[in-house]
Structure 1
Amino acid sequence: MKTMIAALFLSLVATAGAQEQKTVSNAALAARIADQGHDFDVVVKKLEDVLWYERVGDVAYVDKVRLTGPPRFRQTPTGNAFHDALLDNDLVFHAYVFIPRKAKQHRKYPLVVFSHGGIHGTFTTVYAHVIRELVAQGYVVVAPDYRGSTGYGKGFYQSIDYGGLETEDVLAAARYMVENYRIVDPKRVGLLGWSHGGMLTLMNACKYPDVYACGYAGVPVSDVAYRLSYQKPGYTDNFTAPYHIAKTPQEAPEEYARRSPVNYARNLRIPLMITTAENDDDVSVGEVRRMIDSLKSYGKEFEYEVYPPMPGAHLFERIDTREATDIRFKAYRFLARYLLPPRPFRSPDELRKAGYRFN
């Protein structure tokens, strides 16, 4: 009997061990699959880079440069003394540069700093029509893939600092263009972005008004804590991840407040335009109104427009219909007022011909 009990006990131990090993293996497999997702994104990004030449190469010189922003917000020791001693090194990131093919070396041109959207977004050819429209007017464009952008591997993805040092990455891209391209007029630097890119427009406009002449913020994220209160539960995981903020808004209200444009409204000193739509299904009109109300409370002069429910909802200004391009025409008219491009659009038809080749 004792022999049978011992054998049964050993069998149970072996089964438990095998089960534990299986669980560990499954966890390791899931981690490998997740890492391979980042590798796949790198491949997709390289394909996108090639597509830029195809989509806009006939009207713009296309380049991609490496720049540096501040050290990572969250520095995780590796256990390697050499690397850990250098954790405060600047972070390297990439930015796209588009220069109109009609540009002349001896002339000065306005610069548009175009920030992409998405919490882990990236600058892709979905913006090709907008780039064509900008360079047709004579703008030089820089589009930074700030920290946390997808397409540069797991480490860069986990360097995300939403509403934090990504703002300084955008600033670094603007300063790089002014300091390295003699054709860029430092007094005619404007900001453009939608959604998260709109948020970066607001943050740069309010924190660094001496660098920019104006800013256009479409459907901008404006109050991060408020945003998380109405988004789906899983959305908060992007912020509570151990490599990011690692706390909820309830646990770290001041941390979320410093990442929200609504709390910098008092510093605005440059012309600004904000747009939103009542049926936005990503950045609620209520959130954008918080920014509008904050600016008003400080007596700031700015322009804004709240559109009724629109086709495309959150994307209403960025889809390819005539209705959407007519709205973009208004955005370009605003920018042109302060940036003085050499060939501003005179009509929405000119915009469509520039962006789509035919109107």
Structure 2
Amino acid sequence: MNSPISLASRTARFLVLAACLLIAAGSAAPAAAQSAVDRYELDRNRKRERDRTFRRLSDGVLRMRKLSYESRVDRLDIPFYLFEPLQLRGPRAHAALIWIHGGVHGDLDPTYFPFIREAVSRGYVILAPEYRGSTGYGRAHHHAIDYGGYEVDDCLTAVDYMRRHLPHVDLERLGIIGWSHGGFITLHSVFRDQASFKAAAAMVPVTNLVFRLSYKGPRYARHFVAQERIGGPVHERRGVYVDRSPLYHVDKLQTPLLVHVADNDRDVNFEEAQQLIHALEYLKPDLAETRIYRDPPIDRFGGGHRFNRRVDRDRGYRRVDSPEQRDSWNRIWTFFDWHLRPYLTRPR
């Protein structure tokens, strides 16, 4: 039998432990809130550092500016990068590309720079929008993400900006290119706007959200369920997910389109990617040029998902070419140069 003294001692210890747990619970919410605040501030700091890297890499090579415009759909402020030749030729003397970064919550990072530099050296003006949902611009911009919705309008607004503010760009020689999520936006852009673009390239694009969510799992699906204009999971809002999947709009294509995919892609799985390839080959064989790269070099993040964006960050963001990367970029430049004629010094 326990003595009164031992029972009292145990009771005291229990009360002390309970008090400690209550104190810890009381401090958990502020700590979580603080970590959320820190997350967006860390993103801002990372973006500032990346912008400094862009400026350093651009110095003496091309002209780089960071600007913004208001989205045509709701006037949300959309930051963007503008990369131009150091010497501009004159009115409507330059072809241009709208350059769309990837990532559900991504941003334009310096791994794109060697390819942007090549584009500018060929005579292109590059406008790269940081559409809603991009990281580095605070909580509101981050949570404004609208996957396959207003984010596409954010990127199409770049055409309006060029028309008003870039007289040296010939809008008759305008193209668009994007990777992964950016390839998804590229596809939606040319399906929605059948007049503005003379050529488009979608690299390893997301194509079918209904199928994609079947293999990505619940953690990935949360990115979509929480979005106000999507409004629920795919089994409840299937029509919304279908409408936001480029695969189901292939019949609208009126623009020459280049699509490259990798069969060892672990982000946009090949089973998803080949659905678009087959649809384009069947419905739009005269407009679509497609290529499947077999077993290109992989990285630890997404298999072959970045097969044509291999860059050495430690050596000034230089290209690390594989045969597949070299072939892909040769085809990209041949495609755009044919349709957009960046070497012309007069309007087309």
TM-score grouping bracket, smaller chain normalisation: 0.7 to 0.9
Secondary structure of 1:315's aligned partner: coil
In the alignment, residue 55 of structure 2 is paired with which amino acid? Y
In the alignment, residue 297 of structure 2 is paired with which amino acid? P
Secondary structure of 1:22's aligned partner: helix
CA distance in 1, matches of 2:289, 2:227: 39
CA distance in 2, matches of 1:54, 1:15: 55
Q: Give the aligned partner of residue 121 of structure 1.
A: 106
Q: CA deviation at 1:245?
A: 3.4
Determine whether 1:307 maps to 2:308: no
After superposing on structure 2, the runs of 4+ consecutive aligned residues of structure 1 that deviate more than 6 Å are: 11-18
Determine whether 1:252 maps to 2:254: no
Q: CA deviation at 1:12?
A: 8.8
* Preserved CA contact (<8 Å) 2:253 2:284: no
Q: Give the aligned partner of residue 315 of structure 2.
A: none
CA distance in 2, matches of 1:307, 1:246: 36
Secondary structure of 2:305's aligned partner: helix
Q: Give the aligned partner of residue 195 of structure 1.
A: 180
Q: Give the aligned partner of residue 65 of structure 1.
A: 67
* Preserved CA contact (<8 Å) 1:207 1:264: no
Gaps of 5+ in 1: 1-7, 72-88, 344-359
Secondary structure of 1:66's aligned partner: strand
Gaps of 5+ in 2: 1-9, 299-303, 311-319
TM (norm. structure 1) is: 0.83
* Cα deviation digits, residues 74-98 of structure 1 (max 9, x gap): xxxxxxxxxxxxxxx5211101001
* Preserved CA contact (<8 Å) 2:264 2:296: yes
Determine whether 1:318 maps to 2:309: yes
Q: CA deviation at 1:292?
A: 2.2
Q: Give the aligned partner of residue 104 of structure 1.
A: 89
In the alignment, residue 109 of structure 2 is paired with which amino acid? T
Secondary structure of 2:249's aligned partner: helix
In the alignment, residue 283 of structure 1 is paired with which amino acid? V
CA distance in 2, matches of 1:340, 1:299: 23
Secondary structure of 2:77's aligned partner: strand
Q: Give the aligned partner of residue 51 of structure 2.
A: 49
* Preserved CA contact (<8 Å) 2:146 2:227: no
Q: Give the aligned partner of residue 281 of structure 1.
A: 266
Instruction: Assess, with a 3 A threshold, how the Cα gap between structure 1 residues 255 and 16 changes in structure 2: closer, same or farther.
Output: farther
Match of 1:234 among 219, 222, 241: 219
Q: Give the aligned partner of residue 185 of structure 1.
A: 170
CA distance in 2, matches of 1:263, 1:340: 31
CA distance in 1, matches of 2:15, 2:76: 49
Matches within 5 A, 1:124-273: 124-241=109-226, 245-273=230-258
* Cα deviation digits, residues 186-226 of structure 1 (max 9, x gap): 11110111111111111111111201001011100001121
* Preserved CA contact (<8 Å) 1:70 1:165: no
Q: Give the aligned partner of residue 7 of structure 2.
A: none
Q: Give the aligned partner of residue 331 of structure 1.
A: 332
CA distance in 2, matches of 1:106, 1:244: 40
Q: Give the aligned partner of residue 5 of structure 2.
A: none
Q: CA deviation at 1:20?
A: 5.1
Aligned length: 323
Q: Give the aligned partner of residue 79 of structure 1.
A: none
Q: CA deviation at 1:240?
A: 2.0
Q: CA deviation at 1:246?
A: 4.5
Q: CA deviation at 1:56?
A: 2.1
Secondary structure of 1:209's aligned partner: coil
Q: Give the aligned partner of residue 36 of structure 1.
A: 38
**Identity across the alignment (%):** 32
* Preserved CA contact (<8 Å) 1:216 1:273: yes
